[in-house]
Amino acid sequence: MIVGGKRPDAGTLVAMPHVRSAMFMAMLGAVGLGCGSSSGGGDVDAAVTTGRVQVILFTHIEDSTPGGALGTQGSRDQYLGLRARLIDVAGRARAHDLTWVLQPDWKYLEAARLYEDATTTADTGGKNLFRYLRDDLGAVIDPHSHENGGYNYTDVAYLLDVLEVGGSTVIGGHIWDPTLTQFQAWDRFRQPVAGEHYPTASWRGDILIGAGTPGHVNDPLMSGIWRPRARDDFFTDDPAGNIVAVGQWRDDVVGVEELVALYAAGTVAPGDPLTASWNINPASITAPSGPQQIDDTVFAPIAALRDQGAVVSTDFTSLVAAWRAQGATAFVYQP
């Protein structure tokens, strides 16, 4: 259903039962979703994606990474350890022909400026980590910012420019609720915003993702695409709005299957966009056998759903571009 401007109460949401194996596949066949796989990188023809769940797999690198003071050996070691794991994850996503989005905060980017020297880049063809992830492994790079430590979103966008992977206008996560002291005033991006650490920099984000709460303890459960009307009327679409929001839904494969079942059952019309995005967090990536676990429990199942014609693997920028090309009709689903 279309959700009005009121804040959704996460405690009252009713999840659909998980649809399993034969029943799930029968529902897919009943609505003729077996139309082949899509390519990675979000470059799917917009007309082909109708009736398929738009899935975005992304990773936030927080402003506490790497730990310690920049320039120390411990900081460098942490940077390099995560660097190797990010390359591993990106390679696995590419092997499945899936799009994976990396959204780093300021500290990891400043670390890259220090540590991406000739020795470090010897295994990435002389390219810094982010250029290698984008150019060689097909990853998409967006800004992410908690706007702490004297850096805001514009500073992060500026650092991505410095590292030669700029250009994204995605606001990679924000505290959406204006009643909270941590509210990030997303609506200030209706105009360009100056940097805080780099005050001569200017940037305007226009795609909001990850509407969250501190600690993600009471995040709204939404799927879809819309243009928030105002900070106090966030879930109401404003056709004249110049910022687009993408609903995140649940952060697992089961949640994606729930959305697929909505199309299969006719609960949601094929022309209404359903979205699912979640953060494959760095703790999962750096855990023992982390990349293999992600491959087995995230990439492989999503690739299977993609091959069945049930989902599209995309990124936020490509998703919004396709949505606009199809007429930019807003839809927000709340169970």
- Banded pLDDT at 220 (limits 50, 70, 90): confident
Token duo for residue 69 = 């003071």
Question: Rounded to whole angstroms, how far apart are CA atoms 117 and 196?
Answer: 27
Q: Which residues is 175 bridged to in the sheet?
A: 212
Token duo for residue 128 = 């810094």
Token duo for residue 226 = 């819309």
Contact 159, 113 (CB under 8 A): yes
Lowest mean pLDDT among 175-189, 194-208, 250-264, 311-325: 175-189
Question: Rounded to whole angstroms, how far apart are CA atoms 24 and 11?
Answer: 27
The position carrying tokens 């941590």 is 182
What domains are there in the chain, each with its CATH number?
38-64+85-107+122-328 (3.20.20)
Strands (E), 4-99: 53-61
Q: What is the 3-state secondary structure (H, E, C) of 180-223?
A: CCCCCCHHHHHCCEECCCCCCCEECCCEEEEEECHHHCCCCCCE
Question: Rounded to whole angstroms, how far apart are CA atoms 313 and 53?
Answer: 9
54-74 per-position pLDDT tens digit: 999 999 999 999 999 999 999
Which of the pair, 47 or 223, is modelled with greater confidence?
A: 223
Q: Is 264 exposed, middle or buried (0-12, 13-18, 19+ CB in 10 A)?
A: buried
Token duo for residue 156 = 């992060």
250-303 per-position pLDDT tens digit: 989 999 999 999 999 999 999 999 999 989 999 999 999 999 999 999 999 999
Single-letter amino acid, residue 155: D
- Banded pLDDT at 216 (limits 50, 70, 90): low
Lowest mean pLDDT among 3-12, 112-121, 168-177: 3-12
Contact 310, 281 (CB under 8 A): no
Q: What is the pTM of this model?
A: 0.86
